[in-house]
A and B are shown apart, each in its own frame.
Chain A
Amino acid sequence: MANADCKNIQNLIPLYLDNMLSDEENDIVRNHIASCDACKAEYELMASIMQTAASLPELNVPEGFHENLMEKVKAEAESKQERRIYARSWRKVSGFAAAAAVIAVSVVSFMQLDRENNQTNPDVYLTKPAPVSTSAPAAKDKTAEHEVQAPAQESTQPKQKKQDSAQKQNGREAAPAPAQTHQPRVEKRSKDDSSQAAVAQAEAEGAAYTPEEASRTYQVAPAPAEVSSAPKQPDSASTGGSGARTIDEFRMVSITVADSAMAEAEAILSAYGKDANGYNVGESLDAVIGQLSKLEGYQITTQISPQVSANYIVLQ
């Protein structure tokens, strides 16, 4: 037999011994070994080596090996048990915490909804009323009066509208609480007690606010395009105002804070988009006002304006 054939056959002997060749290969190797002494010797050598390997002496398990292992296993079991107990406790705690969070969010949402639906009491936005001062208001009154009187021409229209609506009301049955639709009105909110008299005067004049004015100044708002069919109610910040707002009305709120609090105020408002009208705070108006009201030097003026399509805050 050629050496090349023997070489190939000898390379197949390891798998032949395990019966891992194909049937055809098995036949070839078997037939060759039967007729070739060299390959037969090779086959016997390989078989003997494998048999010897299978008979190799084994190490005994050393003394203490198993005990040492079981100590580690028991320690692991205790640790696992502690982790289970901890995980169970944590699940309970986090479950309670999650439930509490859901309840808290629900309460806040409910309160928010309640505020938005509150149509009769804008006083909810007023800061804590400050004690009335007797001396300061006089000076402030003059300033406010001066500023209010400047656009005197414009102030006649809201007055006229009040009269018109009063006449209408006289000729009608008592109407349901009117919606405050198009008549801009001013709500003065300030921690400054000296401006309360100015507020009352400004309200009487039907003054309005524009973003260009300081928070304590009042201007008459431009006349609305159409008159609301609902009777107009006089509005006063001190009495809490009257008339409900429709959801179509949006507010422009001017807020002033002390210089030292300006950075913080800007940080609060930076979460909202800003355009020519100011910071568009949308449905978060009350929440943002709540945050800003805690800052030093906080003063607020609100105008309900048909010119804007969302709630805006202007930081002065």
Chain B
Amino acid sequence: MQENEWIEQCRNGDTEAFSQLALLYERKMLNFAFRILRDSHEAEDAVQEALLKAYRKIDTFSKEASFSTWVFTILNHVCLDILRKKKRHGEDKHISLHQESKDEENYEVQIADTSPGPEEAYRQKQAMEAVSEAIEHLSEEHRIMIVLRDVQGMDYEQISKITGLPPGTVKSRINRARLALRKILEKNRELFS
């Protein structure tokens, strides 16, 4: 597998191989960090820090594990550290992603081109904004679960490894996180019918 070859070359100090690995995961990592930290600049810093750490620790990466899971584990720790520092300094006030990201050129909309009509397209856009904002309002614990499971599409086992939580805890937290998200979106129920 190409990824394994790049990893091996990285161990030998090949920075070009690491460049290829980084290109594979930068975007997903950036969006994870963005959803968790709710700040695009902090998200960029977090991802750079996490990838640099991954390069430094490449010798400790076990081939039996998934590189994606490993690098997201590092990123998760970096994001949590940032959130803790923000809390300590009282900087954890909620900032709406919608205010941060008014520049829509930064976004690549992933709605299928077969969406029926402008009304439906508008409804879907509204629904996405509502979900996006609702995720921001979740607690840190629930937000991580929703972003990893529902936004990033990771499975329960991966989430258990990334967060370091037992599978049973992951299961119950995802359940509670989704119920919490559902409760926030009660007022926008009509967007999802």
Contacts and interface: CB of A to CB of B under 8 A. Distances in A.
Contacts of B135: 53
Given A52-B131, A57-B128, A72-B52, A15 B22 contact: no
A73 B15 contact: yes
Interface in A29-76: 44-46, 48-50, 52-62, 65-66, 68-70, 72-74, 76
A59 B110 contact: no
B103 to A, nearest CB: 10
Nearest to B16: A70
Contacts, number: 121
A52 B52 contact: no
Nearest to B186: A45
A58 B15 contact: no
Contacts of A74: 15
Given A45-B192, A58-B31, A72-B52, A52 B178 contact: no
18 contacts: A15-B174, A18-B174, A52-B131, A53-B151, A54-B150, A54-B153, A55-B111, A58-B27, A59-B40, A59-B43, A59-B106, A60-B106, A61-B30, A66-B23, A69-B48, A72-B52, A73-B55, A77-B55
Interface of B: 13, 15, 18-19, 22-23, 26-27, 30-31, 34, 40, 43-44, 47-48, 51-52, 55-56, 101, 106-111, 124, 127-128, 131-132, 135, 146, 149-151, 153, 156, 171, 174-175, 178-179, 181-182, 185, 189, 192-193
Interface string A79-117: 011000000000000000000000000000000000000
Nearest to A48: B192
Contact of A46 (B101, B153, B174, B178): B178
Contacts of A73: 15, 18-19, 22, 51-52, 55
A14 B179 contact: yes
Interface of A: 11, 14-15, 18, 20, 44-46, 48-50, 52-62, 65-66, 68-70, 72-74, 76-77, 80-81
A55 B107 CA distance: 12
A160 B30 CA distance: 104
Given A55-B111, A57-B128, A70-B15, A45 B182 contact: yes
Nearest to B134: A49
B19 A70 contact: yes
Task: Give the secondary structure class of B's interface.
Answer: helix
A51 to B, nearest CB: 9
Contacts of A53: 131, 135, 146, 150-151, 181
Contacts of B150: 50, 53-54
A220 to B, nearest CB: 78
Contact of A66 (B19, B156, B175): B19
A15 B175 CA distance: 6
Q: Which 9 A-B pairs have the closest CB atoms?
A: A14-B178, A53-B150, A48-B192, A57-B107, A58-B31, A52-B131, A14-B175, A57-B109, A52-B127
Contacts of B182: 45-46, 49
Contact of A59 (B31, B48, B146): B31
Nearest to A84: B13
Nearest to B49: A72
